[in-house]
Structure 1
Amino acid sequence: MLVSERVGQFFFHTEDGRDRLEYTEYGSGDSWVVLVHGQLMTRRMHEPLARALAGSGLHVVTLDLLGHGRSDRPADPLAYSVQAFGEQVVALLDHLGAPEAVVGGTSLGANVALEVAVAAPDRVRGLLLEMPVLDNALEASIVAASPLLLASRLLPVSVDGARLLSGVVPRSLLPFWAGVALDVLDQRPGATAALLHGLLFGRVAPMSRERRRITAPALVVGHTRDPIHPAADAAMLAAEIPDAEFVSARSLLEWRLRPERLTGAAIGFCQSCWRVQRRRRRSATR
């Protein structure tokens, strides 16, 4: 099913100024879904899922967080934190005029969605969470991110070189996920170092006691044999959130290469979040 697609931008204001953030809208209507990408990735990673959700009648928005994709990339570590990213999602909802949305994300995006649910629970209709990074993933995440942080600080020419080499490869000639992987190489040393510094030395996610107070329904997807995103974290999160369901992916790449089962589960979950709301509104008017 063909759906409309529109690129937009808005400005996120802080005490230090304002930053431009870019997003893509898919479909239309009042049943909003916001999808947030993983660390160092771009909103393009959620394009297949966004199109599938929009094709089912949902109004989907994918956002490039600050420091990612086509959004601004300040070289200040204080600009970056999971909490600030959560504020950017709320600012996006304000910009769109969306009272609430199902908020979802992958890896870093899942943690950002949790921050939104804790900081602005009235704006969250549901949570679609893939590969959250929680207690069991911290050491592996530090080990994975530290080499890039050091390269960005001490050998910036290597980051610039990777960006220049990846930039000459036409994405239209590559399989979709190969192009998404190349997008990860599109980094700027100063901004990347600031981003990783802000995330590594800041709050990773809401604490367990905060997660247990989340009232929104949640669908949590975990991956087996993934050291950075252990399924144990996803299962733990699903046990903490009172109205959560845990779904185990059959492999690390199932949602990327054979998405039908998990995309179907995501569509059903997002639609159910909005059906429940409509039933509540009808009951309230009787």
Structure 2
Amino acid sequence: METDGGRDRLEYTEYGTGDAWVVLLPGLLIPRRMHDHLARTLAANGAHVVTLDFLGHGRSDKPDDPFAYSVTSFARQVVALLDELGAGQAVIGGTSLGANVALEVAAIAPERVRGLIVEMPVLDNALEVAIVSFAPLLLGARVFPFAFSGLRFVTRRVPRGVVPWWIGIGLDTLDHKPGPLAAYVHGLFFGRVAPPASERRRIQAPTLVVGHPRDPLHPASDAEMVASELPNTTFVKATSILEWRRSPERLDLAATKFVLDCWRPARRTRRTAN
């Protein structure tokens, strides 16, 4: 898929068929295949699922321009994807950065959103930790680019087929040239990171929010805050950030039920909690 007048190439993968569209969005710098398992599970239950590499992620283009990267531009890429697929609406789901982008899609194009799956959003309560975590990444990519190029040289030579799947995802996440990496972090740092609370409260789409305890970069308080702001929310508390990666059955079931409910004619109207 191409956007921005054909200058930016974005890659996506489809699972399943039909009109019950779901778009799954990855976390910061992580390739789209992080959602392979969930996509296959949802497709097996009748959904038509698409996973997307934002600009700067996975196999999509990675320009050096900081202005190419922002949560709003990523949200526009999702809308462009729906146009490309001929999908009027979709359930938009994302993890971390992808969760913020899902909220942004609901803010800028609410008519395209059938529902939202928001796992560990990064909002007000994560600000200080995010700065401490990613400012060195920006500085290092600018000042010591040879270190990042050397790391990329090493990780690209590890065959993905001989390592566990999540280790392969981690290796792919490290596969970034220093110039585009610095531009990416710069763009996100100085751009809009999510819809403000005043806009989030106007989101009417049914939403599944998944929060994790003991995760300073994705504090449970941010997930709980979103769940309290949106008027049509189901909140699920994961046992840890690893539950959906190591023992996904419970959360897969919650996500599958949510997606199927979104695409049934009767829409949910009451808030529930698990």
Q: Does TM, normalized by the shorter one, top 0.5?
A: yes
Corresponding residue for residue 28 of structure 2: 39
User: What is the CA–CA distance in structure 2 between the aligned matches of 1:200 and 1:13, rounded to whole Å?
Assistant: 22
Counterpart of 2:166 in structure 1 is: 177
Q: Quick one: distance in 2 between partners of 1:142 and 1:110?
A: 18
Q: Does 1:142 align with 2:131?
A: yes
Alignment of 1:125-164 (within 5 A): 125-164=114-153
Residue in structure 2 matching 1:265, options 238, 254, 257: 254
Q: Aligned AA for 2:54?
A: L
Matched, 1:24 2:6: no
Total equivalences in the alignment: 268
- Aligned residue type for 1:26: Y
Equivalence map 1:33-182=2 (5 Å): 33-182=22-171
- TM-score normalized by structure 2? 0.96
Q: Partners of 1:69 and 1:178 in 2: how far apart?
A: 15
State the 1:164 CA deviation. 1.1
Q: Which amino acid counterpart does residue 106 of structure 1 have in structure 2?
A: T
Secondary structure of the 1:30 match is: coil
Q: CA deviation at 1:148?
A: 1.1
Instruction: Provide Cα deviations, 1:173-213, integer angstroms capped at 9, x if missing partner.
Output: 11111111111110111101000000011111000010000
Matched, 1:211 2:188: no
Who is 1:13 aligned against?
4
Shift of 1:276: 3.1
Secondary structure of the 2:10 match is: strand
Aligned residue for 2:7, secondary structure, equals: strand
Hey, what's the Cα distance between the residues in 2 that align with 1:243 and 1:77? 35
Q: Which residue of 1 aligns with 2:179?
A: 190
CA deviations 1:106-143 (Å, max 9, x no partner) are 00000000010010000000000100011000111111
What is the CA-CA distance between 1:46 and the residue it aligns to? 0.5
In 1: Cα distance, 2:215 partner to 2:112 partner: 31
SS at structure 1 position matched to 2:147: helix
Matched, 1:240 2:229: yes
Deviations 1:227-248 (A, max 9, x none): 0000000001000000011111
The percentage of counterpart residues that share the same residue type is 63
Residues in 2 aligned to 1:193 and 1:277: alpha-carbon distance in whole angstroms = 46
Amino acid at match of 1:213: R
What is the one-letter code of the residue matched to 1:105? Answer: G
- Measured against aligned partners, the alpha-carbon deviations of 1:50-82 in whole angstroms (never above 9, x if no partner) come to 011111110000000001110000000011100
Give 1:278 shift.
Answer: 8.9
Q: Find the aligned partners of 2:104 and 2:65 in 1 and give their Cα distance.
A: 21
- 1:254 maps to 243
Letter in 1 for 2:167: A
Q: Gaps (5+ residues) in structure 1? A: 1-9, 280-286
Report the Cα distance in structure 2 between the residues aligned to 1:278 and 1:94, rounded to whole angstroms: 24
Q: Do 2:117 and 2:207's aligned partners in 1 also have CA atoms closer than 8 Å?
A: yes
Q: 1: distance between equivalents of 2:127 and 2:267?
A: 39
Unpaired segments of 5 or more residues in structure 2?
269-274
Q: Deviations over 1:6-33 (max 9, x none)?
A: xxxx11115xx62000000000000000
Residue 234 of structure 1 aligns to a residue in which SS? helix
Specify whether residues 74 and 277 from structure 1 end up closer, same or farther in structure 2 by C-alpha distance, changes over 3 A only.
Answer: farther
Aligned counterparts of 2:117 and 2:239: Cα–Cα separation in 1: 18
Q: 2:209 aligns with which of 204, 210, 220?
A: 220
**Runs of 4+ that moved beyond 6 A:** none
- Closer, same or farther: CA 278–98 of 1 in aligned 2, 3 Å: farther
Instruction: Tell me if the contact between 2:261 and 2:267 (Cα under 8 Å) persists in the aligned partners.
Output: no
Equivalents in 1 of 2:192, 2:29: separation in Å?
A: 17
Alpha-carbon shift at residue 277 of structure 1 (Å): 6.0
